[in-house]
């Protein structure tokens, strides 16, 4: 197998056109390749500047999870720090987790940040939302968001090899009109359920508004966890 390491977007497009298979840290595909056979060419974005940025409001798809630090919001940092083991986090990438993984541990965190994605195809670079990236398995270059007022990440304890643990991600954003909005994403099993509500009026009104979204269909126990996480992030956003 030939591993190609493009250093420019043009080179990356050439690799795609020539059939190179994109990989992240290869933590997910290596076992499959050993079983089913290796492709003739693979492509890593680890030498591409557009895919390796780590900034206050941007994160490259080729960034290794263990490198994600306090430059990014708490919710995204918390998500990255709980993926697998330390050895996995030193190999796995942002893009591999969001696009290649069935668990997509970073996805709830990215959703509550109202993240936009930059991707690459044979026609060039384009911006899209995370739903399209996941559904169409685009070649992800980077994620971009606006810094929230406060955010939080909860992941329930779970045994290795067991069912996916519950994840609740929350973030409070300042709107242009001076109001505030809370965004919530819950991973229950392999499904991610999201909702948002104006949170200017206070915690009780916010929770009632969230209950009118898809989040209102959560089982009672999970709903209790979600409400506790929302109450906590609202208090932090208010300086409490």
Provide the pLDDT for residue 69: 96
User: Is the distance from CB of 24 to CB of 63 less than 8 angstroms?
Assistant: no
Band of residue 30 on the pLDDT scale cut at 50, 70, 90: low
Residue range 160-207, pLDDT digits in tens: 777 899 999 999 999 988 899 999 999 999 999 999 999 998 999 999
Least confident interval from 26-30, 206-210, 227-231: 26-30
Mean pLDDT of the chain: 91
pLDDT of 101 above 80:
no
Band of residue 37 on the pLDDT scale cut at 50, 70, 90: low
Least confident interval from 43-57, 82-96, 179-193: 82-96
The pair phi, psi for residue 190, each rounded to 5°, is: -100, 0
Provide the pLDDT for residue 29: 61
Calculate ∠ Cα 110-112-118, nearest 5°: 40
Provide the pLDDT for residue 1: 74
Domains in the chain (CATH in brackets) are 2-34+47-144 (3.30.465.10), 150-237 (3.30.390)
Q: How far apart are CA 191 and CA 41, in angstroms?
A: 32
Helix axes 203-211, 220-237, angle to 10 degrees: 140
Helices (H), 82-202: 86-89, 94-95, 107-112, 130-136
Provide the pLDDT for residue 33: 66
Measured CA to CA in angstroms, residue 10 lies from 7, 40, 45, 128, 129 at distances of 9, 20, 12, 20, 23
């Amino acid at each position: 197998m030939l591993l190609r390491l493009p250093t420019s977007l043009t080179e990356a497009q050439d690799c795609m056109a020539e059939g190179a298979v994109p990989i992240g840290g290869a933590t997910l595909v290596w076992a499959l390749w050993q079983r089913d056979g290796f492709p003739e060419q693979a492509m890593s974005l680890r030498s591409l500047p557009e895919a390796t940025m780590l900034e206050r409001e941007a994160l490259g798809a080729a960034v290794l999870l263990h490198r994600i630090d306090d430059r990014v919001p708490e919710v995204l940092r918390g998500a990255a720090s709980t993926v697998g083991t330390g050895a996995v986090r030193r190999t796995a990438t942002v893009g591999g987790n969001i696009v290649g993984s069935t668990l997509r541990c970073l996805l709830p965190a990215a959703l509550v940040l109202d993240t936009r994605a930059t991707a690459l195809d044979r026609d060039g670079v384009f911006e899209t939302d995370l739903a399209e990236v996941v559904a169409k398995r685009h070649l992800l270059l980077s994620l971009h968001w606006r810094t929230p007022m406060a955010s939080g990440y909860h992941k329930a304890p779970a045994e290795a090899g067991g069912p996916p643990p519950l994840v609740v991600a929350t973030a409070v954003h300042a709107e242009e009109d001076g109001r505030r909005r809370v965004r919530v994403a819950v991973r229950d099993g392999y499904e991610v359920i999201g909702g948002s509500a104006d949170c200017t009026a206070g915690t009780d009104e916010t929770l009632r508004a969230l209950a009118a979204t898809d989040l209102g269909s959560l089982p009672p126990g999970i709903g209790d966890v979600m409400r506790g996480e929302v109450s906590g992030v609202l208090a932090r956003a208010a300086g409490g």
